[in-house]
Chain A
Amino acid sequence: MIEIRNLTKSFQSGNDTVEALKNVSLTIPDGDIYGIIGMSGAGKSTLVRCINMLERPTSGTVIIDGQDMGSLSTAELRAARRNITMIFQGFNLLMQRDCLSNICFPLELAGVKKAAAKKRALELLEVVGLPDKAKAYPAQLSGGQQQRIAIARALATNPKVLLCDEATSALDPKTTHSILNLIRDINRELGITAIVITHQMSVVEEICQHVAILDNGVVVEEGEVGTIFANPQSPEAKRLVFPDGSNEILPAEPGEKRIRVVFNGALATGTPLIATMAMEENIAANILFASTRSIGDKVYGNMLLGIPDGEKNLPKAAAYLQSIADVVVEEVLPNA
């Protein structure tokens, strides 16, 4: 378990002090894939670097499996870092070494014998699906392949935690998907806790179980991905979940009332909800905004509906929609 308690980090730039992290507290359970999402400059990278003490926190503690990272000696910290490895946006492979010796590198640092290191590296090349690239140099590989080698390198020392700092931000959507799958497989099969730093909501939605939303150095919202997707509370979370802004919708027609329909993990994939409402209740709802995502077989997200002749139809529509499990309906008042 990783416990981050009241973490603050400030940087001195000239006479100004910039607070990159303000009193951040998070608990990351073992075996989780934990997303930390935020806009550029929100402090995500600083936060992840405080976990392995690449950045020393100004105050606060990071406790990993009962061990206070800030209290470790230099040598102890180096040993601890073999348990908390990291992958990066830029892959950061050693360009003058071939893939095999890149993967051997952390083992070399740890003083593992050459033959044993090579054996382990060859196994890891299999794990990441590039068994034929042992003798290739990083410059000969695509971005996705380089990240796979970087993941193999990060796994070499059998870590418990894998920190992913914008690991897919330099990759195209298809490669991103395959790298995320690899991270999920590693998480499931090896039980490694993954902390995924990203600015892409799609990454969180694809693999994370929990998410913390970081804005301007503050955790504004934290919890299960499904819950936050379905019903973001803070403006920052709303901005990330609905990047197009669901509140900036056309002015209402005369007599129209608006409701927000929240899908909170409803098993509604097979049901054309709005169409059946039109047929059964005779209410022709106007879809003003919709952002729904299927995660597994459940639907998360929300919809903004315009209900014509609202005085009469709104209670009927609300009652109909609310009869489905895990669907929440609330009226949206003008200018709300």
Chain B
Amino acid sequence: MLDKLFSSQAVAEALRIIQNEFPLAVWETFYVTVISTAIAIVIGLPLGVMLVVGEKNGVLPLPKWLMHVLNVVINLLRSVPFLILMIMLIPFTRLIVGTSVGTVASIVPLVIAAFPFVARLAESSLRELNPNIIETAQSMGASPMQIIVRVMIPESIPSLLSNATISITTILGYSAMSGICGGGGLGKIAINYGYYRYKYLVMLLAVILLIILVQIFQSVGTRLATKADKRLKN
């Protein structure tokens, strides 16, 4: 098995594929992941804030039905496996992007799958905040918006950054999965060559590159979160 995998013919072929296709694939995976995460945060962070402040005893209580709808939508989207969600969203993607195939098109299902996840992570970050800090801001006459913008979010930055790192690595994994349904990037290469054409060496290399990307995102994220945390200054 191993000598077959590393036969001179297989290695030569793999090298050719790497040269021709990997640079673009790495770039596609990278930008799809970053853009999807960015859009997911733009949608998910405000929802996460709403989940915390909108509660009955929250800073800015929201109507009960709205909180209910929000929770149900988030839970629904979170319970559909990504692969199935992507297939279900094909008509929707076509409506927005004009096509359901290709790298750009894969951003749509990625965002839809990721923003509820981001909202839940943001919620848990904001809940970590010491409630006394919020009471203190109230005792100084802070309005609900001032508490959200000047207290809750800035005080939660380190935790939010850690959770953003979790999001981006998860979305990277999803983006590889989107290769099955016409998405581009390393996932597509791994599936097309490894699964459909039995070129395991190519698949292996694609997976190694995915691992390296995850490592890079994780270590940059961890460093940013640690650096941002003023509690760790000594």
User: Which single member of A54, A79, A97, A138 contacts B139 (CB below 8 Å)?
Assistant: A54
B68 within 8 A of A: no
What string of 1s and 0s marks CB contacts (under 8 Å) between B193-234 and chain A?
A: 000000000000000000000000000000000001111111
* Cross-chain contact B139 with A52 (CB below 8 angstroms): yes
A75 nearest in chain B by CB position = B143
A92 nearest in chain B by CB position = B136
Secondary structure class of chain B's binding surface, majority of residues = helix
CB distance from B230 to the nearest CB of A (A): 4
Contacts of A105 in B (CB 8 A): 137, 140, 150
A237 within 8 A of B: no
B11 within 8 A of A: no
* Cross-chain contact A95 with B155 (CB below 8 angstroms): yes
Contacts of A137 in B (CB 8 A): 230-231, 233
Contacts of B141 in A (CB 8 A): 77-82, 106, 109-110
B132 nearest in chain A by CB position = A92
CB distance from A77 to the nearest CB of B (A): 8
Q: Take A94-B154, A109-B150 as given contacts and tell me if A140 and B139 are in contact as well, using a CB distance cutoff of 8 Å.
A: no
Contacts of A54 in B (CB 8 A): 135, 138-139
B133 within 8 A of A: yes
B104 within 8 A of A: no
Contacts of A230 in B (CB 8 A): none
What string of 1s and 0s marks CB contacts (under 8 Å) between B154-190 and chain A?
A: 1101100000000000000000000000000000000
Secondary structure class of chain A's binding surface, majority of residues = mixed
Contacts of A98 in B (CB 8 A): 230
Contacts of B25 in A (CB 8 A): none
Total residues of chain B contacting the partner, CB 8 A: 26
B110-148 residues with Cβ-Cβ distance < 8 A to A are 130, 132-133, 135-143, 146
* Cross-chain contact A92 with B230 (CB below 8 angstroms): no
User: Which single member of A78, A82, A139, A163 contacts B232 (CB below 8 Å)?
Assistant: A139
CB distance from B148 to the nearest CB of A (A): 13
CB distance from B179 to the nearest CB of A (A): 40
A96-126 residues with Cβ-Cβ distance < 8 A to B are 96-98, 105-106, 108-110
B74 within 8 A of A: no
Q: Report how far A96 CA is from B232 CA in the complex, Å.
A: 10
* Cross-chain contact B150 with A139 (CB below 8 angstroms): no
A85 within 8 A of B: yes
B151 within 8 A of A: yes
* Cross-chain contact A88 with B132 (CB below 8 angstroms): yes
Q: Report how far A184 CA is from B142 CA in the complex, Å.
A: 27
What string of 1s and 0s marks CB contacts (under 8 Å) between A44-77 and chain B?
A: 0000000010100000000000000000000001
A143 within 8 A of B: no
CB distance from A54 to the nearest CB of B (A): 6
Residues of B at the A interface (CB closer than 8 Å) are: 130, 132-133, 135-143, 146, 150-151, 154-155, 157-158, 228-234
Q: Top 3 closest A-B pairs, CB basis?
A: A78-B141, A81-B141, A92-B136
